[in-house]
Structure 1
Amino acid sequence: MNEIRLKETPLKECIQFIEANKKEFSDKDSAMKSGEDEKNYEVKRDRFFEIPRIENERKIGFVDGGTAPLIISADFSISLNRVAGILQEHNRFLSPKKIPLYIEFYSATILRLNEEKKLEFITRLFPREEEYQEFLPEERFLRFSPYDITIQERRGFLPRIENLGAIAMRFSEWTYGSKFIENELTENDIFVRDGSLQTGYTGEIELADKLYSNGLQNGVYITGLSKTCRIPTKKGDSLISLVNSMGSKEYPDQAWYYHPIKKVTRADNKADLFFVKLHKDSLYPFRFDIFIEQTKDFEKEGKDEEKALISSLASCSDDLSFIGYPYGLIKVDQLARIPNRDLESQKVQLLSEFNKDTYESYILPRIRSMNAHDLLNKIRK
């Protein structure tokens, strides 16, 4: 009797495709090169270092931002934005003394013809408190052509107008961070931003350079910790997964860091990359950037300074809510995040500010041009 063979499900076939193409990690591999202004290093076992425990931990400042759109149409949008900073010293959290714990502001973006009769996104910022104004970027940074490739969607599609609010928030992370360094941190302290040190948008390099300059002038180390890392190797593997696989064998029960791996000296990305596993029980290694002008001194003085920085970060990464991730970044994320309850109340307040005629003839038709999908989602529920 012939056996009846059941046809594989599409999902099973999908899994089999991945399994059939899995690769074995290779020692002789390195990061895929993405430009001339970078140096990539072959992955080697002797580039792992145990993270030591130190007595004189550095003071660390953490900065992060959050944004949420309130109204979206094809030709204008309004968002609520927040940027926050917090200090950690000797396992204690401290609020900034000279600058606000967080700043809040509305960003309003319009699409209109400029003086040259060309379409332009123009964003203006409206701080919720007058004192927040000095922490915001100048308006000249917030004018973009819709055809600016740095703000376009992938494959050349025009940007979503609400993305301009997120760009305003990102720029404000640099300007608030610069003030944070200037007023709250001193020599040998550490500044940590959520994410890498890479910039991407037109004008962003100038804001980042201001922060770097403040860091150098005040002797403050500029760093960034990324929760994700998409860098592939030249053989097509995940670079951070390759390093983590080797680290798990070299230091199975210890915290470690790996360096060097990649050094970038482009104008838009001045970073010396490390990979770090900040707690022995952590399942997650992270990409850790240090401003490359500062790591040049490490090479002259040996490994002690980089170990001190990473050890200070590791000392505040033992909270059970996310073991191996700095609790300061968890805390500042909570401060910068805009809760849904705040968002809904802000939407109601915002719409009530329009006069009736403007709302019915101008605002409402534009909102309806964008929210039909949301209505359909509610029907599905």
Structure 2
Amino acid sequence: MPLDRRRFVRVMMAGGTALAAVPLLESCCGAGVAGEEARDPPADPLPGLDRGRTDILFLASLAPSSHNIQPWFVRIRDADHWVVGADVNRRLSAVDPQNRELMLSIGAFTENIVLAASASGYEAEIEVLASRAFDADLLEVRLWAAQPAGYPLQRLSDRRTLRGGYSNAELKADDVSALLEPLADRALFIPPSSPQAAYLKEAAVESFRAQTWRDAAQAELAEWIRFDDNAVFAHRDGLTLASMEISGIAACFVRLFADDVMSKNFREQGIKKTARLAGQGGGWFVVSSGDDSVAGLIETGRRWQRMNLLLRERGIAAHPMSQMLEEEPWRGELAGQLGLTGVPQFVLRVGYVEDYPGPVSPRRPVSWFVRR
């Protein structure tokens, strides 16, 4: 019989060994910093690329992606001509069967290339090559010498998705305007006291519940959770306890006793946490596209990333609550419920946060995703 948390505590206390367990707990709870260490820039330039171009690719890799799957590869045609594609081994077929979210992640990756290149004295010219979301080669990048744009690259390296600790104060009008600006006319802010916000709160919880009890989706999630530092360093991707904001004693117990993602307890705890988080925040952003074409999704991902990169300096966090765009009936009814004319691609819960820690999600080394 698996030893769950409550039973562990009872056994330890009944045996008079609670104090003896302290060193074990301290050792366990001291782990989990690997994510911060597993995202360093490469020590040396890649063969055929100078330091500047290698750093552009590293900064591009700091883009967000569902489950932190980092689905991109870059084929180097020459130093200034690259092809960006989707790694077929990094698909989420259970929750993203049409590669919709993968295309959005490629868009964020592409935006980071453009911004990092501009700050490094290059103009990155982007041309979408793919007509289908399952094509291997998605777009090409050509670098041209230009004046450095002065974009603050720390925005890329400091970006982090925060899930908890949101204030319930509604976002101020100037903050809403600043975040809507890079999204152009493809986004809607929903105040927290509105009927639409109440719908999104309920939809976030119920769609998460539906997905959690869908075994294929839960098994896929299990493949991408890295419970210990050895797994983090081995894979340099996925969801770590730190990125899921599980720390301290709670993280220790999860590592020791609750790493069965398919268990009833793990699923129920996730639903409870989602219900708590859905009630936090100062509003919602819904980002849409004109259609589901490859070019449209990549452009939407680029615009979304531009918004992401403005969040920290305004003390605002944004949490994509994607399950309602992955599960029925919410996926089919969302646009009508909110009165959208476009195709919803992101539902973001947003809020002010007092504590904004640094990023902890690991990143694969550039050499792992560059091809020749």
**TM-score of the superposed pair, with normalisation by structure 1:** 0.25
- The answer to which structure, 1 or 2, has the higher relative contact order (CA under 8 A, 6+ apart) is 2
Higher helix share: 2
Structure with bigger gyration radius: 1
TM-score, structure 2 normalization? 0.26
Larger strand proportion of the pair: 1
